[in-house]
């Protein structure tokens, strides 16, 4: 069976006027970088990727060799193409402008180069998350100045987003605003083939994903929701729930968009703003989940409507099957 490749899929989107050639090339380049990262992740202990490099990133987290390498792969792949004004990453304190000897384009790219890096050493899925914005023009039609301020746009301004999962297979999920579509890396042709077109999240589900070790620190609405799930058949929900937690957002979200469920990383008394990062984790995932018919909130506000205050801002995340997300939101006063 001949499947649509990512290249064909993007060219069709370009012909339909949904994306321009620059955005098509940008997504292709990100996909190529994800293939390179996937090869390195696959080397496992043979590649030394799980070793700590003894450096803390801007979040105060110790970087692993693969975090740094994945960041470099994405930077090198993307800086010369002429379609970007600047890049920003979990692993870099400030945005990185495109070097002056390359042409500058109209897009801004944000990424979490390796999500779930605590799982590298234990042979569990990791991934890459990305978000694409337009670089806004300055006052009086002045060209865009790609500083941090230019990046601070709500998620509803994203023109594309996606994530790769480096698991038993490498999967890339992409949206350009007309649905969420999944591609599997064919290791023989080394191209991405469309295997999950028009992903739809089942509306009714009985599976939740949350790190329950934080339970004693949660706020009341989240505690109530989980307590009701745990009460199962005997509780107000009248049915049993199942629990999963991979500790790689990419893997948890791929499961949720594949078979339904709810994923939560709420704020708590220790992580007062939540744990996940708004601009390169919550926003791209919220865009994908909404495009797949689901919902994403921080409790009261739709994630995509939040005006960011900082590049590395953290946010509470509740996303997945619409009915369940709406129920959690309704428990918030």
Site residues (vs Mn ion, CB under 5 A) = 90, 112, 114-115
To Mn ion, the closest distance from the beta carbon of 282 in angstroms equals 10
The smaller minimum CB distance to ligand AHG, of residues 160 and 249, is found at 249
Binding mask of the shown chain, residues 179 to 198, with x at each position contacting ligand AHG by CB under 6 A: --------------------
Residue 27 backbone phi and psi in degrees, to 5:
-65, -40
Closest Cα partner for 173 from 64, 261, 2, 290? 290
Q: Does 248 bind ligand AHG (CB under 6 A)?
A: yes
Closest Cα partner for 257 from 285, 289, 287? 289
Give the position of tokens 């919902």: 295
Which span sits near ligand AHG by CB under 6 A: 16-24, 109-117, 291-299, 302-310? 109-117
Closest residue by beta carbon to ligand AHG: 249
DSSP 124-155: --EEEEEEEEEPPP-GGGPPP--SHHHH---G
Out of 29, 74, 87, 112, the residue judged to bind ligand AHG by CB under 6 A: 112
The smaller minimum CB distance to ligand AHG, of residues 158 and 248, is found at 248
- Name which of Mn ion, ligand AHG, none residue 230 binds, using a CB cut-off of 5 to 8 Å depending on partner kind: none
The smaller minimum CB distance to ligand AHG, of residues 146 and 162, is found at 162
Residue 219 backbone phi and psi in degrees, to 5:
-80, 160
Q: Does 117 bind ligand AHG (CB under 6 A)?
A: yes
Q: Does 324 bind ligand AHG (CB under 6 A)?
A: no
To Mn ion, the closest distance from the beta carbon of 228 in angstroms equals 29
- Name which of ligand AHG, Mn ion, none residue 248 binds, using a CB cut-off of 5 to 8 Å depending on partner kind: ligand AHG
Number of residues that bind ligand AHG (CB under 6 A): 13
The smaller minimum CB distance to ligand AHG, of residues 9 and 208, is found at 208
The smaller minimum CB distance to ligand AHG, of residues 61 and 121, is found at 61
Out of 39, 124, 152, 247, the residue judged to bind ligand AHG by CB under 6 A: 247
Contacts of 135 (CB under 8 A, 6+ apart): 85, 86, 106, 107, 108, 144, 146, 150
Rounded Cα gap, residues 185 and 169, in angstroms = 7
52, two tokens: 């700590």
Binding mask of the shown chain, residues 37 to 66, with x at each position contacting ligand AHG by CB under 6 A: ------------------------x-----
- Name which of ligand AHG, Mn ion, none residue 297 binds, using a CB cut-off of 5 to 8 Å depending on partner kind: none
Instruction: Compute CA distances 141 → 49, 104, 136, 144, 264, whole Å.
Output: 45, 17, 10, 9, 41
| 3-state secondary structure (DSSP) of residue 220 | helix
Task: Lay out the sheet containing 170-175: strands in order across.
Answer: 96-97, 84-89, 107-115, 126-134, 160-166, 170-175, 181-186, 191-196
Provide the CA 23 distance to its chain's centre, in angstroms. Answer: 18
The smaller minimum CB distance to ligand AHG, of residues 94 and 211, is found at 211
Q: Does 115 bind ligand AHG (CB under 6 A)?
A: yes
The smaller minimum CB distance to ligand AHG, of residues 231 and 247, is found at 247
Residue 108 backbone phi and psi in degrees, to 5:
-115, 135
To ligand AHG, the closest distance from the beta carbon of 333 in angstroms equals 26
Q: Does 284 bind ligand AHG (CB under 6 A)?
A: no
Task: Lay out the sheet containing 317-320: strands in order across.
Answer: 242-243, 207-209, 262-265, 317-320, 295-297
Q: Does 91 bind ligand AHG (CB under 6 A)?
A: no
Residues that bind ligand AHG (CB under 6 A): 61, 90, 112, 115-118, 211, 247-249, 265, 275
């Amino acid at each position: 069976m001949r499947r649509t490749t990512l290249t064909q899929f993007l060219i069709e989107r370009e012909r339909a006027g949904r994306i321009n050639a620059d955005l098509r090339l940008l997504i292709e380049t990100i996909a190529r970088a994800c293939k390179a990262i996937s090869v390195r992740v696959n080397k496992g202990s043979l590649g030394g990727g799980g070793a700590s490099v003894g450096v803390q990133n801007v979040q105060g987290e110790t970087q692993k060799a693969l975090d740094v390498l994945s960041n470099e792969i994405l930077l090198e792949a993307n800086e010369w193409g002429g379609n970007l004004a600047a890049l920003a990453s979990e692993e870099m304190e400030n945005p990185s402008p495109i070097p002056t000897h390359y042409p500058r384009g109209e897009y801004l790219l944000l990424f979490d180069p390796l999500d779930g890096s605590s799982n590298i050493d234990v042979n569990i899925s990791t991934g890459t998350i990305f978000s694409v914005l337009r670089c806004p023009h300055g006052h009086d039609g002045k060209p865009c100045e790609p500083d941090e301020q230019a990046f601070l746009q709500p998620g509803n301004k994203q023109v594309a987003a996606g994530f790769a999962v480096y698991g038993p297979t490498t999967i890339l999920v992409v949206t350009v605003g007309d649905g969420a579509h999944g591609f599997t890396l064919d290791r023989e042709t080394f191209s991405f083939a469309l295997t999950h077109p028009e992903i739809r999240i089942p509306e009714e589900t009985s599976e939740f994903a949350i790190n329950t070790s934080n339970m004693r620190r949660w706020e009341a609405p989240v505690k109530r929701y989980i307590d009701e799930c745990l009460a199962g058949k005997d509780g107000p929900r009248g049915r049993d729930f199942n629990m999963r937690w991979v500790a790689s957002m990419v893997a948890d979200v791929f499961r949720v968009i594949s078979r339904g469920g709810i994923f939560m990383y709420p704020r708590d008394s220790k992580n007062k703003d939540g744990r996940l990062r708004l601009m390169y984790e919550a926003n791209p995932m919220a865009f994908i989940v909404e495009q797949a018919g689901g919902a994403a909130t921080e409790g009261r506000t739709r994630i995509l409507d939040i005006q960011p205050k900082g590049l590395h801002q953290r946010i509470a995340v509740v996303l997945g099957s619409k009915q369940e997300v709406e129920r959690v939101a309704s428990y918030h006063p």
